[in-house]
């Protein structure tokens, strides 16, 4: 049976696809598993959520210090999976901390010029790969053998067409892959924390708003606050705080809103961290001038079975949920 025919048969039968999002944080491992069935009508379900505390000292910032402890927590998180899926058959994604990632958008014309080829599409991706690697080496200060790099050509027309590059130091990626493998988990994707959280927040907005209504997404991570302004499903503006251009968080949020009549703001992440900068959810609403809804994935979709883990209703589910969505929707 060909791969194409296999997936056609799966879709015709309405069999669900399962995916897991794994968020290894500073204190916990968070796991969200979702299923998606395309036929007879699209349906996404939350199948399983689990939070497992990490042993003290297992993490030091972005670094996995005690791989045995992380592996043990991963095994425990996957214990008790629904009968319909196993760790070996799941599409599993894990996040790399945002502060360990480097993202860049480089004009395609610049890379094709350095590679000696035209930017009219008459080239192979391998033709510009050396130029991509040289560019990211210059940005990170690391040699290419020490980097894990992903890149793609973004949609759009020349001369503004760009190549989006994501890179991290290879040890960050290898440590997570080795812990997952030791726990019997095969990772199929690795993503940045903010990108995964944004995917979750956009999904929440699609569930609650009309597609043309503008909204704001805010994610609070251990290294800062990230925000995105989205109108008609297009990203109009983004921000990060702390940053040199913003005097405080209120200034960053005002810049993000920029007079936009947002219908609502969706907030995910570790909201308790706002106390460290003297802020609250109510303050975010005041500055943005719109209602604020903390992410509650248990209220978005069907829950396949009784789930008791508090993560189902906590905003810090954003990264794990966004990673799981990647596995079934992309």
The answer to whether residues 93 and 107 belong to one domain is: no
Distance CA 205, CA 310 (A): 21
Specify the CATH number for the domain of residue 72. Answer: 3.30.420.40
**Inter-residue contact 162 to 108 (CB < 8 Å):** yes
The answer to whether residues 89 and 188 belong to one domain is: yes
The answer to whether residues 266 and 144 belong to one domain is: no
Would residue 148 count as lying in a domain? yes
Would residue 140 count as lying in a domain? yes
The answer to whether residues 249 and 323 belong to one domain is: no
Structure confidence by residue, pLDDT tens digits, 65-90: 999 999 999 999 999 887 777 766 78
The answer to whether residues 53 and 116 belong to one domain is: no
Structure confidence by residue, pLDDT tens digits, 208-228: 998 889 999 999 998 899 999
Would residue 14 count as lying in a domain? yes
The answer to whether residues 148 and 229 belong to one domain is: no
The answer to whether residues 77 and 186 belong to one domain is: yes
More confident site: 158 or 56:
56
The answer to whether residues 25 and 86 belong to one domain is: yes
The answer to whether residues 62 and 186 belong to one domain is: yes
Q: What is the dihedral of CA 283, 284, 287, 293, to 10 degrees?
A: -120
**Which helix (H) or strand (E) is 129 found in, with range?**
helix 125-140
For position 252, what pLDDT does the model report? 95
Nearest residue to 203 (alpha-carbon basis) of 297, 286, 113, 121: 297
Would residue 199 count as lying in a domain? no
Global pTM value: 0.86
Structure confidence by residue, pLDDT tens digits, 159-213: 567 888 888 888 888 999 999 999 999 888 888 899 999 999 999 999 999 888 9
For position 146, what pLDDT does the model report? 87
The answer to whether residues 305 and 275 belong to one domain is: no
The answer to whether residues 182 and 53 belong to one domain is: yes
Which 8-state DSSP code applies to residue 185?
-
Label residue 311 left, alpha or beta by phi (over 0 means left) and psi (-120 to 50 means alpha): alpha
Instruction: Say yes or no to pLDDT of 121 above 80.
Output: no
CB-based burial label for 68 (10 Å; 0-12, 13-18, 19+): exposed
Full domain range(s) for residue 133: 100-170
Specify the CATH number for the domain of residue 118. Answer: 3.30.1490
Number of structural domains the chain divides into:
3
Would residue 279 count as lying in a domain? yes
Distance CA 248, CA 227 (A): 14
The answer to whether residues 181 and 317 belong to one domain is: yes
């Amino acid at each position: 049976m060909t791969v194409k025919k296999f997936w056609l048969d799966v879709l015709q039968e309405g069999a669900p696809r399962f995916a897991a999002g794994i968020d290894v944080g500073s204190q916990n491992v968070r796991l969200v598993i979702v299923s998606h069935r395309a036929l007879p009508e699209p349906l996404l379900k939350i199948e399983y959520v689990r939070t497992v505390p990490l042993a003290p000292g297992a993490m030091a910032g972005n670094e996995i210090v005690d791989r045995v402890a992380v592996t043990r927590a991963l095994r425990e998180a996957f214990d008790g999976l629904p009968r319909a899926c196993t760790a070996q058959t799941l599409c599993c994604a894990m996040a790399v901390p945002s502060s360990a990632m480097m993202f860049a958008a480089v004009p395609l014309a610049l890379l094709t010029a350095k590679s000696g080829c035209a930017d009219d599409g008459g080239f192979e991706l391998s033709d510009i790969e050396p130029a991509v690697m040289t560019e990211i080496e210059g940005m990170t200060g690391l040699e290419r053998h020490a980097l894990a790099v992903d890149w793609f050509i973004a949609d759009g027309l020349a001369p503004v067409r760009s190549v989006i590059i994501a890179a991290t130091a290879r040890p960050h990626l290898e440590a997570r892959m080795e812990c997952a493998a030791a726990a019997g988990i095969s990772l199929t994707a690795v993503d940045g924390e903010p990108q995964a959280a944004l995917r979750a927040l956009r999904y929440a907005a699609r569930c609650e708003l009309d597609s043309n209504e503008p909204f704001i997404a805010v994610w609070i991570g251990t290294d800062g606050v990230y925000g995105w302004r989205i109108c008609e499903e297009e990203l109009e503006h983004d921000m990060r705080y702390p940053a040199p251009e913003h005097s405080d968080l209120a200034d960053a949020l005002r810049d993000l809103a920029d007079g936009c009549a947002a219908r609502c703001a969706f907030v995910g992440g570790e909201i308790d961290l706002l106390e460290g900068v003297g802020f609250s959810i109510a303050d975010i609403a005041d500055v943005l001038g719109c209602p604020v809804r903390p992410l509650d994935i248990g209220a978005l979709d069907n829950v396949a079975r009784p789930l008791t883990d508090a993560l189902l209703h906590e905003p810090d589910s954003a990264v794990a949920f966004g990673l799981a969505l990647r596995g079934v929707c992309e």
